[in-house]
């Protein structure tokens, strides 16, 4: 695929993106990676990409179609001015950093820069990510198409127009994998308490969560209906759900969890 990419930062999420892009036929030779960490850079160059510790080392003739910012939010203020030369020539900016608003990118790159802010999550590492994208006023449909190509390589993509919603997106799907992993931990421990060997309890928790998630994706029924389908009156599932669905059960706890993560996302802006 003829698409040139500048990836700034190649940590875990950056590497997940690289793997997805290459699997989806973006030529590694068309990807330039900037990362001061030699170990991260070694992974990128091992995939066949060009790798540099500084943007000053990039061939002056290189003008990427898109620049993907995958650095930590606290590093943005230092990093952004270094790359303004690319946006001055029309490079699309795609950010995967939480807590850095479109306005901040516009301040760094100018009001004419095309910017798309995205919120992916860690299952992108296995091509099962959930990515929500929000464009600024200068991003065209062609820019959105480019962003879709990059993000669909690692998962499912949705679009919103209201950037403020990204805080709630962060609370639900950005942070969501950690909630699920913790639930799996709790299921394993509960299984052990019920007498199961630890390795079997872990296998049951992992595969039950993975299988239920895949069923929810493939089924045309809602999660509520799928729950009802597996719940026989006065059966074992009903007994367990009586605890989870109590007034102080999982519903209120999850609402508080998402609200706390959403609030923190707003504070990081």
Residues 137-153: pLDDT tens digits?
A: 999 999 999 999 999 99
pLDDT at 193: 98
Domain check: are 93 and 111 in the same one?
yes
CATH code of the domain containing 201: 1.10.3730.10
Domain end among 109, 134, 165: 165
pLDDT at 229: 97
Domain end among 141, 165, 189: 165
Domain membership of residue 220 as a residue range: 174-267
Domain check: are 77 and 135 in the same one?
yes
Domain check: are 55 and 151 in the same one?
yes
Residues 176-210: pLDDT tens digits?
A: 999 999 999 999 999 999 999 999 999 999 999 99
Total domains, the chain: 2
CB atoms near residue 182 (< 10 Å)? 11
pLDDT at 212: 98
Instruction: Evaluate if residue 111 carries a pLDDT over 80.
Output: yes
Average pLDDT, the chain: 95
Average of pLDDT values for 100-121?
Answer: 95
pLDDT at 163: 96
Question: Measured in Å, how far apart are the chain's first and last C-alpha atoms?
Answer: 35
Report if pTM > 0.85.
yes
Confidence grade of residue 92 (pLDDT, cut at 50, 70, 90) = very high
Domain check: are 181 and 48 in the same one?
no
Chain centroid, CA 209 distance in Å: 19
pLDDT at 104: 93
Domain check: are 141 and 243 in the same one?
no
Task: Give me the helices (H) in 90-197, please.
Answer: 102-109, 141-152, 165-169, 176-193
Instruction: Evaluate if residue 73 carries a pLDDT over 90.
Output: no
Domain check: are 160 and 204 in the same one?
no
- With a pLDDT cut of 90, the percent of the chain lying above it is 91
Kindly write down the DSSP assignment for every residue of 36-68, as one continuous string. Answer: S-HHHHHHHHHTT-EEESSGGGS-TT---SEEE
Residue that is written with structure tokens 């799996």 in the block: 184
Domain check: are 258 and 226 in the same one?
yes
- With a pLDDT cut of 70, the percent of the chain lying above it is 100
CATH code of the domain containing 75: 3.40.50.720
Domain check: are 160 and 205 in the same one?
no
Domain check: are 118 and 189 in the same one?
no
Domain check: are 147 and 76 in the same one?
yes
Domain check: are 134 and 157 in the same one?
yes
pLDDT at 133: 98
Domain check: are 153 and 199 in the same one?
no
Domain end among 132, 165, 198: 165
């Amino acid at each position: 695929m003829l698409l040139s990419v500048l990836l700034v930062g190649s940590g875990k999420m950056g590497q997940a993106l690289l793997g997805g892009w290459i699997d989806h036929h973006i030529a590694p030779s068309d990807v330039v990676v900037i990362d001061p960490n030699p170990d991260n850079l070694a992974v990128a160059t091992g995939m066949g990409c060009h790798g540099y510790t500084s943007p000053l080392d990039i061939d002056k003739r290189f003008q990427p179609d898109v620049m993907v910012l995958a650095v930590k939010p606290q590093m943005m203020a230092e990093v952004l001015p270094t790359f303004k030369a690319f946006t001055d020539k029309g490079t699309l900016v795609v950010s995967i950093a939480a807590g850095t608003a479109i306005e901040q990118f516009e301040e760094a790159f100018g009001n004419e820069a095309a910017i798309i802010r995205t919120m992916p999550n860690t299952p992108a590492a296995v091509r099962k990510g959930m990515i929500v994208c929000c464009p600024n006023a200068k991003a065209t449909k062609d820019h959105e198409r480019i962003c879709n190509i990059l993000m669909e390589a690692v998962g499912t993509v949705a679009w919103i127009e209201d950037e403020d919603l990204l805080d709630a997106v962060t609370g639900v799907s950005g942070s969501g994998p950690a909630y699920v992993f913790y639930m799996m931990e709790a299921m394993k421990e509960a299984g052990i308490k019920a007498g199961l060997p630890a390795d079997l309890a872990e296998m049951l928790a992992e595969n039950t969560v993975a299988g239920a998630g895949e069923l929810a994706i493939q089924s045309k029924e809602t999660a509520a209906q799928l729950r009802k389908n597996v719940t026989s009156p006065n059966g074992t599932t009903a007994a367990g759900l009586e605890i989870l669905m109590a007034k102080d059960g999982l519903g209120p706890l999850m609402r508080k969890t998402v609200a706390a993560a959403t609030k923190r996302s707003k504070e990081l802006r």
